């Protein structure tokens, strides 16, 4: 589906986008390592089917030093040896938050994350997943076009 953009949210709701960018910057500053932060964004965007965000965050991940092999395998992270236990815990939590209507966040997923991350980092993980899910919903509903993003155009 290569349909035209429905609406430019930045044009019609600039203050709301400014607030989202402030949330993004605050979340990015909570201390998660940049490669993991980008993996979280890519994985949630894959689940949600957000082409614009997948395009953006795969480019940002590569610019941050992420390997193409890990990016390509991210959708099958459970079946590959490419991810650390810490990354696996973060990806499982990201998936649970993204798919929250399919059973909340299971205790075992939270416990797995809590074994790998301290409380401040857990808060950062939750906020990273929540923030990218909000961006996905904005981009998907407005049909923000994919393909034109260049890495590091946004404030990091």
Spell out the domain ranges in the chain: 13-142
In this prediction, residue 146 carries a pLDDT of 92
- By mean pLDDT, which of 43-52, 77-86, 140-149 is the weakest? 140-149
**pLDDT of 91 above 60:** yes
The CATH class of 13-142 is mainly alpha
Tell me what percent of the residues of the chain surpass a pLDDT of 90: 90
CA angle 33, 76, 87 (to 5 degrees): 20
Q: Residues, the chain, total?
A: 156
pTM for this structure?
0.93
Q: What is the mean pLDDT of residues 136-146?
A: 95
Question: How many angstroms from the chain centroid is the CA of residue 85?
Answer: 18
| Mean of per-residue pLDDT scores for the chain | 94
In this prediction, residue 3 carries a pLDDT of 80
Q: At 103, is the secondary structure helix, strand, or coil?
A: coil
**For residues 133 and 48, what is the distance between their CA atoms, to the nearest angstrom?**
8
**pLDDT of 83 above 70:** yes
């Amino acid at each position: 589906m290569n349909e035209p953009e429905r609406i430019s949210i930045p044009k019609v709701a600039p203050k709301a986008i400014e607030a989202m960018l402030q949330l993004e910057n605050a979340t990015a500053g909570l201390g998660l390592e940049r490669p993991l932060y980008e993996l979280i964004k890519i994985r949630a965007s894959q689940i949600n089917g957000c082409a614009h965000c997948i395009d953006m965050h795969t480019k940002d991940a590569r610019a941050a030093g992420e390997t193409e092999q890990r990016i390509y395998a991210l959708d099958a992270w459970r079946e590959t040896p490419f991810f650390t236990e810490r990354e696996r815990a973060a990806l499982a939590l990201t998936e649970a938050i993204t798919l929250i209507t399919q059973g909340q966040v299971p205790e075992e997923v939270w416990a797995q994350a809590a074994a790998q991350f301290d409380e401040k980092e857990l808060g950062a993980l939750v906020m990273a997943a929540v923030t990218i899910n909000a961006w996905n919903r904005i981009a998907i509903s407005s049909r923000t076009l994919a393909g034109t993003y260049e890495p590091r155009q946004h404030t990091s």
